[in-house]
Structure 1
């Protein structure tokens, strides 16, 4: 019986981490499109959870995003990530926006139940709908912005990423400099929160209030 329980927990964590990585990939592409980080011509319209989304077709952008998600998947499975942030930087590499996904996967339910999976996807669908209209609550970004993805985890858990840097895809993780993550004079705008037996997640944006004045 103990073996079956352990196997179910393993299967559940695998399913949740797969779903989260898939969702985060689409969410990141959506943010890049909505915040005009790249020209609209590099995006293709698709659907996820029956929501129209825009996905990049630029190989280098896509490779970076997939490499990040591939690297953090073991930490998602072990519930070791506190949050993932997509940071938008101006041309001087000053952070002007942070889209923060606070993550807390739950392992209480058996996600092989189709009804539970449907409810989970419905919850994630609501996040994508919010991202599709985030421009309405954010000010215009300056030209020539770039982005970075930052993961917040315990130092002991961060060490789990180190072997993957040489064995998988030569994807180096480094400790983020405080200047890359701290937004001075910023305001926080909550976008969406979701709580269930299998996932707790909150999404908010921290925005620099004078992003254009300092250009």
Structure 2
């Protein structure tokens, strides 16, 4: 897999995760710092345990992307019983046709990432609720061989992997966020509201 795609995707997911936590009011606003990314203000949590969890997940994402086995990632905001309230879904597809010189300077990619961040701010208001004690979980949809190789990788061993049964869940509605192309891959982003 293209290293540029991997680097940009992992960086984008880090920004997305922290902003979902901020706009979803999973943690109080005072534990976030503001930064500029993609020419807009974004948020980053200062809590070391939250950052450790997110960074560990992102290492796993990077490993799956390198192997070409990550198909879908779900960032679920959960209630106090750890049941998902809402899922932010990132779906990855390899394009069969890719023009090498298309968006060579990544201008369109940056515009799409900026649009995602701005859209996130407005769309979260559509399902905000007053549930206290929210938390979050990150689900990686990959294959079994990838899961096994990550579990024996010494760089990833401190992070536990739990296989989840393949089951279909109904959701009340799906709200699309953004679809964009990046170095021969498509990333679809949408929200599943429970």
1:167 Cα offset (Å): 4.0
Query: Is 1:71 paired with 2:60?
Result: yes
Q: Aligned partners of 1:126 and 1:185: how far apart in 2?
A: 25
How far residue 196 of structure 1 moved from its aligned partner, in angstroms, is 5.4
Is the 1:84–1:151 Cα contact (8 Å) retained in structure 2?
yes
Write the distance in 1 (CA, Å) between the matches of 2:104 and 2:116.
19
The 8 Å contact of residues 183 and 206 in structure 1, kept in 2 or not, is answered as no
Are the counterparts in 1 of residues 109 and 181 from structure 2 also a CA contact under 8 Å? no
Residue matched to 1:158: 147
Q: Which residue, 179, 189, 194 being the options, matches 1:203?
A: 189
SS in 2 for 1:23: helix
TM-score normalised per structure 1 = 0.80
TM-score, normalising length: structure 2: 0.87
Structure ID, larger Rg: 1
In structure 2, the gaps of 5 or more residues are none
Q: Deviations over 1:19-78 (max 9, x none)?
A: 100000000000000010000000011111101111101111011101111122121123
**Structure 1 residues 114 and 51, CA gap change in structure 2 (3 angstroms):** same
Residue in 1 that maps onto 2:160: 172
Q: How many residues align?
A: 193
Measured in 1, the distance between the counterparts of 2:84 and 2:91 equals 19
- In structure 1, the gaps of 5 or more residues are 1-9, 209-215
- The two structures, once aligned, show a CA RMSD in angstroms of 2.5
* Alpha-carbon distance in structure 2 between the residues aligned to 1:95 and 1:204: 15
Runs of 4+ in 1 over 3 A off after TM superposition: 105-111, 113-116, 166-169, 181-185
Q: How far does the alpha carbon of each residue in 1:97-131 deviate from its partner, in whole angstroms, 9 at most, with x for none?
A: 111011235594558x9843222222222211211
